[in-house]
Each structure stands twice: as structure tokens, then as C-alpha cells.
Chain A
Amino acid sequence: MSRTVTVWDPPITAKIYEQGEGEPVLFLHSGSGITPSDPLVAALAASRKVIAPRHPGFVDPDELDELRDVHDLALYHDELLDALELDSVAVIGHSFGGMVAAELAAHVPNRVSKLVLAAPVGLWNEDYPMPDFFTAFPFGMAELLWHDSSSSEAMTAMATMAQGDDEEKSQSDDPLTAMMLRVLPGLVTLGKYIWPLPDKGLGRRLRRIKAPTLLVWGEKDKLMPAQYADDFVKGIPNAKVEFIPDAGHMAPYEQTQDFANLVNDFLG
């Protein structure tokens, strides 16, 4: 099920996917986007109500013109919580969505009750630098994202993401062009906020996060090496980490049930 809410000025209309019953949790997706049949949202929705907004820019990068930096992005999400009538809520963020979730929790600490960060970006450590994701576009990306990009989980997730949202018309008749055009706006968006290095000051702000925080990392993450978990745990006052073996940057999609179990244990 999906609906839209409109926030910001000039107005940005965000598509909100919702699934499940019970306590609400806000899910902020990765650079790979979100679709109505997202398998991770479905797994999380077994025990709670998942509210998953699509990031601005992910269909039309022009929406980002007046979301100039990560501060604007955090405030945009603050307004989004108003529009969703969520005073304070648990937030799960994956990869780019993890960075946004951490920024939200650092900017408006009282609005995030609990925080789950799955392989968030947003820090830079010279000892284990994040590889240049953007030079891997388009054909080298799967290799960086997945522990095993030929696994059935990876194939299913990639096919779902490539398919997009049926409600939106394809911008091209050619299948390859259509897929590129679907994937590209999300990457443009990532580029706006994490180019050329992803450290936009989050490291200085992590101390502001009040929410008890769970970090989840695929042990074989080739994009954001699992050592980054240490940097997040050091920076966030109340944080712990769980590693998922045999999983890469897309751990929540590679070991979806394991990830959902960790989330359920943590959120209760």
C-alpha cells in the first residue's frame, strides 16, 4: 500500500510505502531504492507497521535543488515525521538511508526512540577507505554491494529493484535504458550528499544521538568495510553492533530473516 505526503518548500511529494500492523517503525532505504514488493519491508512488517518513504530525488533529481546539504536532508525528515504524525519513532536505515537516519537522530535527537543502522555510510576512515562506488557505475556495482551477487536473494532483490513501481510509467521502451533511468536518479541523489567523500560532519554529530542504537553489519561488506562499525559504536553514546556472517553491504537483503530477527530482538 502506498500514499503520498507533501513537505518542504518548494514542495516535495514523498511516496510512502506502508505494510504491517502494530508499532510503527520508519524505514529509510538504501541507494538501491524501494519498491512496493521490497522483500525487506515485507519481512519487517511481519511484526510491526513499516512506514517506508521513498527518498527525495529518487525519481526526479530536480527535487533536490533546495535540499542543499545533509542538514536540509535531516530537517526534511523532521518535517516528514510531522506529516506522518509520528512524534517519536523507531528508525531503521540501510546504507545511505542509515546515514540519513543517523543525521536525523543527531539533528533532532528526541524524535528517534530507537535506531537501527545497517551498514550506514557517512564516515571516512583512511585506514579502511570506502571504495569509489561511483566509478563502479553501472556494471561493477553488484560486485561491491553483494557478498554473492549470483545468490537467489541477490537476484530477487535486484530484479525487484529494476522493476520499480508499476504505478510509474517507464521513461523508455528500451529495457536497458528503462532500467538505467530507474537506477540513476538514486545514484545522483547519493552523489549529491556523499561526493567526493561521505564524511559531511556526521562523525562530529554522532555524540548527539540519544536513541539506543543497534548497528548491523555484513561481515563481508566490500563497500563499507565492517570496521566502520567500531567508529559508529565509539561515536554514538548508547550503541552496540551485531555482525551477519556471509553477507555483504546488502546484508538486510542477503540474510533477510536474520536481519529481521536482530531488529525484532532490539526493538522488542
Chain B
Amino acid sequence: MKFHFFHLMPYPYLPDDFRQQVRSVWVDVPIDYYDPVKGHEVYHTYLDELMYADELGFDGICVNEHHQNAYGLMPSPNLMASIMARESRNAKVVVMGNSVALYNPPTRVAEEFAMLDVLSGGRLIAGFPVGTPMDSNFCYGTPPAILREKYREGVELIMRAWSEREPFAFNGKYTQLRYVNVWPRPIQQPRPPVWIPGGGSVETWEFCIRNHFNYSYLSYFGYQGAKDVMKGYWDTVAQLDAEPNPYSAGFLQFVGVAKDDAEAEKLYAPAALYFYNKCLHLYPGFVQPPGYSSMETVRRRIQSQVAGASALSPDLTWKDILDRGYVVAGSPETVIDQLQEAADTLRMGHLMVLLHFGNMQQETVKYNTELFAREVMPKLSGLFSDWEDEYFPAPSPVAPR
């Protein structure tokens, strides 16, 4: 199993009464809550944390894209990734990713990812999310009804832009270009590994499997609640008669490592409560605009919503968060046991961990990151070692600078 340090880059200074004062952390969150002078410090602190993970031997360091979002301060993850590409030494630079449908033309993504791959010496993992409704539909104005088709066309264009050796014309439904001829090209040929961060949509599973892309389920709600989704993925793998390579799958998990349960609560409970109670304070009207999900996916989801309890009740406690498995926290042994169970049930070769979450202080982040790297990673890294990871960059062909 491989391990990736994921950073969401939340704004850590949201006030205690944020939930009462504001309807949503995302889309129309008032800009008065953001102080760019504090923001300066926040960015550099977070970049330091990503670099620390590189030093400690994580396989990858991850950033992602959100717009008009107080818990994700990266409208352009590529700006962060370019710093990571230059400053890090060994970790792969995992951009999870660029919301293809929002780039006009999508060859912009092919160009910037090629730049990142060259800058990093062939260490880029290229993520192509469809994009959340908040980002894609509400902030960037793409009609839900066309988002997926526009996304697919954009991914097709990027793949061709990376692989064809002659300039070509692209006559798409959403993009028309007379000369596609991307300069520079990625070091990794024919292309960097492509990872698709997705929710539980049937179409996305098939899309990943048919294109040999890694499918990564980026859930904030822990491995216990992810079983159905990952089972859906592996069932689809079986139906399509594809190889059940664990490295074709990734999963995101919040983790807090400490000496024992009591220390875990002391260190990680405030940050977890900040994340779940403030950062996920999202106006429900933004979550499921008509047309964002296919009718088939909606049918399944409505039924599961009707059947089950609502995922997010307000004012969660640390006990709720632990009981529901949103955060895996405790002694190294506890964390190892739970992640072992997660790997057994979800079968993900790539584990992305959020060791910073909410408003966690840097000292705590470093402690968490170090314990995870020293105590947890070595115990689990042998998992799935009989499989070849075809979804990961090959060793860099360039000499260290």
C-alpha cells in the first residue's frame, strides 16, 4: 500500500458562531471572514506541512481544487503544485486535480500538468475530477445537464494532446481548436498516471476502468461508510472483466495518531469538530442541483437517503466522529488495526490521509505526520505487495538537482 499526505488547506480562523451567521461555507461564504494577511501565513504553513511529509517518506503529497470555499483555499492547485514540484524531493506530486470542464480550452490542463511533470522530474499524478456541484455548477456556471459530457470531452482532448505527435484539429461539441500541439510535453510517456477523484457514481467507475485510470473515493466520512461505494467499484471491475488491481483504487481517510485515546482526543478533537461542524456547514440547496447526477445515480441515492439516517447532523461530538469512523484516531496500534480493516474491506492500494484537518496547529500536524510515518506506514506498506502498481509514476529519469 502507498501513502499520500493530502492537504485541503482550510481557512483556520472561522469564528465560533460561523454556523449561526452564515448559510454556507462554500459558494456564497462572505469574504469578510477572510484576512489575506493571515492567509499569507496560512499558505506557507500548509506548504511546510506538505514538505515535511515529503521528508518523512510519504509516497505522495496531494492538493485539490475548490472555488469560493472557506475550507479549501486552492482555486488553483497548480500554483501550489508548482511549489511542491520544486521544493519536494521524492514524493509524487498528486494534483487531485483539475476540474477539466472548467478550463477553457481544456488544453490548458494538458499544458500546466506537462509543466508540472517536467518541473518535478516526472513525479506528477494527474487528477481529473468532474468537479463538485458547488465548484462547477454554482461558482463556475456550467449547467449540470452538460457537465459530465463536457468533462469527458475535455479528458479525451487532453489525452490526445499528450499522445499525438503532430498538430491536430479538434472539432468537439464544447471545444473547437484548429491547432492542438501542446508544448512542453510531460516527461512521463505516454502520459502521467491519471487518477479520478469521484463519489459513488456508476458512470465514473466504468469510465475509470475502461481508461485504466485510478478511481479514488474522496470521502470525508470514513472507511466504514465507504464499503458500499467501493463494493460498487469492485463489482464493476468484475463485471467488466478487468484486473482487480488494488492500486487501481484510492481512498481518503482522516487520521489522528497519538500515544493513546486520551491524547488523541486532546490533540485532534478540536480540529475535527472545527472541520465537521464549520467546514462542512454547507447550504443544502447547493449539494444536488438537478442534472448533476444521472437519473440512475439519483434513484440509488434517494433510496439510500430515505432508507438511512442523514449523514450529517449538526453539532457532532468527538464521540460521534469516532463512533461513525469519520476520523481514525488513537494509538498507533488502534490506527493500524483500523486501517488494516479499511484495506481489507475497501481494497485500496493508495491511501490518502488527512493528517491536517480543520484548524489544527502546525505543531500537532507535525506530531501526527511523524507518528504516522514512523509507526503506522511501515506496518502497512507491505499490503498488496504482490501487485504491480501500474497507476504510479515510474522512477524519475532525471538526476536529483
- Given A176-B302, A180-B298, A189-B145 contact (CB < 8 Å): yes
One digit per residue, 1 when the CB lies within 8 angstroms of any chain A CB and 0 when it does not, for chain B 140-154 equals 011111100100000
Separation of A180 and B291 alpha carbons in the complex (Å): 12
CB distance from A91 to the nearest CB of B (A): 25
State which residues 159-202 of A face B: CB under 8 Å. Answer: 171-172, 174, 176-177, 180-181, 184-185, 187-192, 195-196
Q: How far is the CA of A202 from the CA of B255 in the complex (A)?
A: 53
List, in ascending order, chain B residues with CB within 8 A of A191's CB. 143-145, 289-291
B310 on the A face (CB < 8 A): no
Quick check: A61 and B291 within 8 Å, CB to CB? yes
Asked if A80 CB lies within 8 Å of chain B CBs, one says no
Docked-complex contact A184 and B290, CB < 8 angstroms: yes
Are B141 and A177 in contact (CB-based, < 8 A)? no
- Secondary structure at chain B's binding surface: helix, strand, loop or mixed? helix
Where the two chains meet, the residues of A that have a C-beta atom closer than 8 Å to any C-beta of B are 60-61, 64-65, 68, 132, 134-137, 140, 171-172, 174, 176-177, 180-181, 184-185, 187-192, 195-196
CA distance A152 to B148 in the complex (A): 40
Distance from B18 Cβ to chain A, minimum over Cβ atoms (Å) = 20
Q: How far is the CB of A190 from chain B (nearest CB, A)?
A: 8
Inter-chain CA distance A65–B290, complex, in Å, is 16
Inter-subunit contact A137/B299 (CB<8 Å): no
The minimal Cβ–Cβ distance linking B102 to chain A, given in whole angstroms, is 13
Interface residue count on the B side (C-beta < 8 Å) = 23
Q: Let me know if B144 and A188 touch, CB within 8 A.
A: yes
B78 at the interface (CB under 8 A from A): no
Give the interface SS of chain A, mostly helix, strand, loop or mixed. helix
The complex places the Cα of A134 from the Cα of B144 at a distance, in Å, of 11
* Residues A61 and B145 in contact, CB atoms below 8 Å apart: yes
Complex Cα gap A187–B173 (Å): 23
Given known pairs A61-B291, A134-B290, the reply for A184 and B298 (CB within 8 Å) is: yes
Chain A neighbourhood of B382, CB < 8 A: none
Q: A135-B285, A137-B285, A187-B291 are in contact. Are A192 and B299 (CB under 8 A)?
A: no
Find chain B residues with CB under 8 A from A135 CB. Answer: 138, 283, 285-286, 289
Determine whether the beta carbon of B299 is less than 8 Å from that of A172: yes
A18 smallest CB distance to B (angstroms)? 28
Cβ–Cβ < 8 Å partners of B299 in chain A:
171-172, 177, 181
* A130 to B94 Cα, complex, angstroms: 41
Q: Which residues of B (314-343) have their CB < 8 Å from a CB of A? A: none
> 5 additional contacts, CB 8 Å, given A60-B295, A65-B149?
A191-B290, A191-B291, A192-B145, A195-B144, A196-B138
Nearest B residue to A188, CB-CB = B291
Q: Do the beta carbons of B137 and A195 come within 8 Å of each other?
A: yes
Closest to B288 in A: A137
**Smallest CB gap from A176: residue in B:** B306
Chain B residues closer than 8 Å to A60, beta-carbon distance: 295
- Asked if residues A192 and B295 are in contact (CB atoms below 8 Å), the reply is no
In the complex, A64→B306 CA distance in Å? 29
Query: In the complex the two chains form, what is the Cα distance from A128 to B286 in whole Å?
Result: 22
The chain A residue with its CB closest to the CB of B287 is: A135
Say yes or no: A196-B145 contact (C-beta < 8 A), given A137-B285, A176-B302: no
A96 to chain B, nearest CB (A): 13
Cβ–Cβ contact A177 & B303, under 8 A: yes
Kindly list the 6 A-B residue pairs having the minimum CB-CB distance in the complex, ordered from nearest.
A135-B285, A187-B290, A195-B143, A188-B291, A192-B145, A196-B141
A174 near B303 with CB under 8 A, answer yes
Cα(A103)–Cα(B257), bound, Å: 62
Write out the residue numbers on chain A whose beta carbons fall within 8 Å of the beta carbon of B142: 195
Residue of B137, B149, B290 most packed against chain A (CB within 10 A): B290
Selected contact of A137 from candidates B145, B149, B173, B290, CB within 8 Å: B290
B217-236: CB near A (< 8 Å → 1, else 0) gives 00000000000000000000
Within 8 Å CB of B145, what residues of A? 61, 64, 188-189, 191-192, 195
Select one of B141, B285, B288, B295 contacting A136, CB under 8 A: B285
B283 near A184: Cβ-Cβ < 8 Å: no
Partner of A181, one of B138, B291, B295: B295
Q: How far is the CB of A19 from chain B (nearest CB, A)?
A: 29
Q: Which of A68, A134, A174, A180 has the most CB of B within 10 A?
A: A134
> Across the two chains, which residue of chain B brings its CB closest to A137?
B290
A-B contact pairs, 27 of them (CB 8 A): A61-B295, A134-B289, A135-B285, A137-B285, A137-B288, A137-B289, A171-B299, A172-B299, A176-B302, A176-B306, A180-B302, A181-B302, A184-B290, A184-B298, A187-B290, A188-B145, A188-B290, A189-B145, A190-B290, A191-B144, A192-B145, A192-B291, A195-B141, A195-B143, A195-B145, A196-B141, A196-B143
- CB atoms of B285 and A177 under 8 A apart: no
Known contacts A134-B289, A174-B303, A191-B145: A185-B137 contact under CB 8 Å: no
Instruction: Give the residues in chain B near A174, CB-CB below 8 Å.
Output: 302-303, 306
